[in-house]
Chains A and B, each alone.
Chain A
Amino acid sequence: MNVRSRPRVAVFKMASCDGCQLQILDAEDALLELAGAIEIVNFAEASSDLRPGPYDITLVEGSVSTPEQEAQIREIREASRILITIGACATAGGIQALRNATGRLEEFVRTVYPTPEYVRTLEDSHPVADHVPVDLELTGCPIDRGELLHALASLLAGAKPRVSTSPVCLECKRRGAVCVVVAKGEPCLGPVTRTGCGAICPRFGRGCYGCFGPAQAPGNAEALGRRFIELGLRPKEAADRFRFITGWAPAFREAAARLEEVER
C-alpha cells in the first residue's frame, strides 16, 4: 500500500448520516497537519470544488442501499487506488440493514415516508465490501477519529494500517474502566465487539452496544448472549442486543438468530 507523497484523497457518502465524515471535519488540531499531508480533491460535505478521479485514497461512508449506489460504488472503486470504507453503515450495512431479510420493506416505506412513491430502494442494505473489493475497513458509529488519522499516517508512511481486531475489553482494562457486566450485572457487548472506540461507553458506566461490529474470529457472541439470559434478559431481548447498528454483520446476525431459537 504505497502512496505518493501528497496523495489525492476523495470522500464519498452512500446511505448514511454523515457522522463519520464529520469526524474528519472535526479533527481540529490535526486538520491543519492533515491538509499539509493530503490533498482533498473531492469531499462534497466540505467543499463544492469536486474534482474527478483517479484518487489515491478514497473514503466511503454509508451502505449500498439504492440501485444508484450500486452503480456509484463500482465507479468509485474504478477511480480509487486504495478504497477505505468508514463507519458501521459502510462496513456492516448500518441501522438501515434492520430491514434486511424481514420481507417487510414496502410496509416500512409506507410507515416512514409521507410520499412512499418517491422512494426507490433496494430490498436489502449492504456493506460496501459485498459489492466491490475494499482495502481497509474502519468500523464504528461513528468511526474513531484517532483510528482514521492513524490509518492515513500509516498509509503515508508506506504501510497497511494496523487495525486491531481485539475486543473492547482489552482497551477497557488498559484504561482502567471497571467491567459493567461483572460489577453491575449489566449486559455489555464489549467482549465480542471490535476495539477502536477507546471503550467510551463502559468508561461512562454503560454497556457497549456493539457499534464497532464483531471482534476477531471465531468469536463467541452466542455464549455472551447466554450470559445475558443468566443476568435476567429474555432470550428475545438477548438476541435483540445484537440487532442494532451492526446487526447485519454475520457474527452478530447468526448469534441473534440462535439466541432467538432459545425463546421458541
Chain B
Amino acid sequence: MWHIEREGLGRLIRLLADRGYRVIGPTVRDDAIVLEEIEGLEDLPAGVREVQGPGSYRLERSNDGRLFDWAHGPDAGKRFLFPPRERLTEIRRDREGMRVGPAPEEDDRPLALLGLRSCDLHAIAVQDRVFMGLDERYRRRRERAVLIGVNCAVPGGTCFCVSMGTGPRCTSGFDLALTELADGFALEVGSRVGQELRDALGARPASEDERAEVDAIATAAAERMGRTLDVSDMPTLLYRNREHPRWREVAERCLACTNCTMVCPTCFCHDVVDDVSLSGDVATRSREWASCFSAEYSWAAGVVVRESHAARYRQWLTHKFASWIDQFGVSGCVGCGRCITWCPVGIDVTEEIAAIRATDGAVEVRTA
C-alpha cells in the first residue's frame, strides 16, 4: 500500500489526460453526482454527501471538503464501455451494389474511469463475461481502459454489496484503488499500468497507521449497508416461483418505465436500429440501450410476448438474480442499489425477493 497527498489525485488526472486518456470521474450536475469527463481535482464533488432511499436521491452539503463521502449517482462504467447509443455499421449503396463497413468510433481516446466503487468494478467484470468474446468494440475499449477504484467510506441507503460479496472494499479489477484519508489517499496497485502510474506520481509507502485506517474504513463501511439480501438458493428460488402472486402485486406499482434496467451497471440488452438517408444511399445500424420493460422488447412475429408488467418485472428480476447465473456463471446483481434509488416509485428488489422467499411456493389463484 502507498500514499499520495490530496494534490496527487489532481496530478493523476492531469497525467492521464496528458497521456491521451479521456478521464471520466464524478462531478455534480443537476442535483446528482454523475460521471463525466473531468479535468482536475476541482471538478470532483468536494464536501458533498448523498441521502439515498427507495425512489429518492438528495445531495447535502457537508462543507468538510472531502471528495468521496458518497456512494454513487446513477452512472457506472457501463455508460462509457458500452455507450447508450453507438453506430456499428455503415452500409452504402450505389450502382455497384451494397458496401458494408464498420462505423468509426466517435471518440477514440482510451478511457480512464476514476472513482469507480467496488460494486462498479464487479459490474464491469460481469459485463466482460457478456461482451468480451463477442464484441470487438467493447473489447477494444475495455483493454485500453484504466480503472481507478475508490473504497467506500459512506455507503448509500440502498446499498447491499456486502450481501452480494462485491464490496465495499475494492479487491479486484482495478489498476489503482484509492482510500480517502485525512491528508490524502492510500493507494493500492492492481496492475502493471497501476504500478507505473504510482511510480509517475512518486507515491511513498503507506505507514502502519495508514494501513490500519484503510482497514478500519472498510470495516466500518461494511457495517453501514443500507440493505441486506439473502441470495441463498439462487437460481432455483426464482425458477420455482414463476407463478408467485408477488409478481402481480409489484406490477400494481411498477410503471415499466425502464429506469431500473438503465441504471443497472450490468444490464446489457440493446436494440440494433436502422437509419437511412432520405436520398437512400447511406444506411446505418446503431446499437441503443434497450429494456425488458419495453413492450417492443419482446415483440415476436407480430405479438408482444410479455404483455403484462408482472411478466416484465419477473423477467428482469429472474434474469438478474437467477438465469444470469446459468448464462454467465455469476449473479447479474452487484448490490449497488441503483435500481432501488432510481425507481420513480421506489420498488425495492431486496424487499421483493424477501417477500417471495417468505412465501416460497405460493401460487397465484387466478379468478375468472
Contact = CB atoms under 8 A, between A and B. Distances in A.
Contacts of B30: 177-178, 183, 205
A38 B345 CA distance: 46
Interface residues of A, number: 45
Given A182-B342, A183-B30, A149 B278 contact: yes
Contact of A174 (B32, B255, B288, B308): B288
Interface stretch (B55-63, B109-117, B194-202): B55-63
Interface stretch (B137-145, B174-182, B258-266): B258-266
Interface stretch (B221-229, B291-299, B323-331): B291-299
Interface in B203-257: 251-257
Interface in A187-238: 188, 190-192, 205, 216-220, 223-224, 227
Nearest to B35: A176
Interface in A150-187: 150, 152-154, 156-157, 162, 164-167, 169-170, 173-179, 181-185
A191 B308 contact: no
Q: Which of A157, A181, A205 has the most CB of B within 10 A?
A: A181
B157 interface: no
Contact of B307 (A178, A218, A223): A218
Interface stretch (A28-36, A79-87, A246-254): A28-36
A174 B278 CA distance: 25
Contacts of A41: none
B276 interface: yes
A220 B255 contact: yes
A175 B75 CA distance: 11
A149 B252 CA distance: 37
A164 B296 contact: yes
B295 A173 contact: no
A179 B57 CA distance: 9
A164 B271 CA distance: 11
Contacts of B259: 169, 173, 179, 191
Contacts of A205: 30
Nearest to A35: B278
A37 interface: yes
Contacts of A219: 256
A190 B257 contact: yes
Contacts of B75: 176
B2 interface: no
Contacts of A174: 84-85, 262, 288-289
Contacts of B32: 178, 183
Contact of B289 (A170, A177, A190): A170
Contacts of B280: 37, 153, 156-157
Contacts of A185: 56
B255 A156 contact: no
B275 A153 contact: yes
A156 B263 CA distance: 36
A37 B276 CA distance: 12
Given A173-B74, A178-B74, A218-B307, A33 B34 contact: no
A227 B343 CA distance: 11
B291 A170 contact: yes
B86 to A, nearest CB: 11
B43 interface: no
A156 B278 contact: yes
Given A162-B273, A217-B295, A178 B34 contact: yes
B360 interface: no
A154 B308 CA distance: 30
A37 B281 CA distance: 11
Interface of A: 30, 33-34, 36-38, 149-150, 152-154, 156-157, 162, 164-167, 169-170, 173-179, 181-185, 188, 190-192, 205, 216-220, 223-224, 227
Given A30-B278, A216-B296, 13 more contacts: A33-B277, A36-B279, A153-B276, A154-B276, A166-B294, A169-B257, A173-B74, A179-B259, A182-B344, A217-B307, A220-B254, A220-B256, A224-B344
